[in-house]
Amino acid sequence: MFPGFRLALPPKRWFKDNYNADFLEDRKLGLQAFLQNLVAHKDIAHCLAVREFLCLDDPPGPFDSLEESRAFCETLEDTNYRFQKELLEKQKEVDSLRKLLSEKQLRIDTLESRIRALCSHPEEALRLSEPGGEPAPQVEAPVPGADPEVLDDESRASDRPCCRLPEPQSPASDIEVAEVAYDAED
């Protein structure tokens, strides 16, 4: 097929041990060099028979042998198991964080409702003087659904009022203070 092309194969052994490690290594290296020289020649590399024999157009894949297929499947199974385990751990962490978030949101909503209740009745939070010089009784508005234990020491309001009101323009003696009676059913 290629008369002008001369490549020598590595020598065979006829009378000694063919399974000697040194001989096998030398033979393997010689065969690899032969194949590399064969493929490096441009006329031979384009020959259809050589390409089919060496599987140059269709290189072997991971499923060409049963042993390789099993090893590949075991690797995929191990990877799948590891990913499922990591996913389960992440899902537990997400559920825990969602629960914590809902608890914090409930606490924020409770605090906001208490603040709105205090700000909606600011006249009850102010202390106005009566004409006689004695302070008017301070009335606290009940907050529906508010639990006094919800607020801890860090979140309790200081003695400052939560809402700032404009100062009255007339003196305190001109203001009439009326007692506000709350019905228990309201």
Compute how many other C-beta atoms are within 10 angstroms of the C-beta atom of residue 46: 10
Cα separation, 94 vs 112, whole angstroms: 26
The answer on pLDDT for 71 being more than 60 is: yes
DSSP code string of 80-118: HHHHHHHHHHHHHHHHHHHHHHHHHHHHHHHHHHHHHHH
Instruction: List the single range of 29-43, 85-99, 116-130, 170-184 with lowest mean pLDDT.
Output: 170-184
- Output the pLDDT for position 155: 47
**What is the mean pLDDT of the segment spanning 78-106?**
97
Each residue's pLDDT tens digit, 95-142: 999 999 999 999 999 999 999 989 887 655 444 334 444 444 444 544
Structural domain count of the chain = 1
At position 78, the amino acid (one-letter code) is D
We report the CATH number of the domain holding residue 46 as 3.30.1520.10
In a domain, 27, yes or no: yes
In a domain, 4, yes or no: yes
In a domain, 131, yes or no: no
- Output the pLDDT for position 102: 97
Q: What residues contact 97, with CB distance under 8 A and at least 6 apart?
A: none
- Output the pLDDT for position 112: 95
Please check whether residue 79 is in contact with residue 71, taking contact to mean a CB–CB distance below 8 angstroms. Answer: no
- Output the pLDDT for position 74: 92
Distances 89 to 63, 75, 79, 96, 101 between C-alpha atoms, Å: 33, 21, 16, 11, 18
Each residue's pLDDT tens digit, 134-170: 444 444 544 444 444 444 444 444 444 455 544 544 4
Cα separation, 186 vs 174, whole angstroms: 31
In the block, tokens 């400052």 appear at: 160
Say which residue, 64 or 180, is predicted with more confidence: 64
The whole domain housing 36 covers 1-59
In a domain, 162, yes or no: no
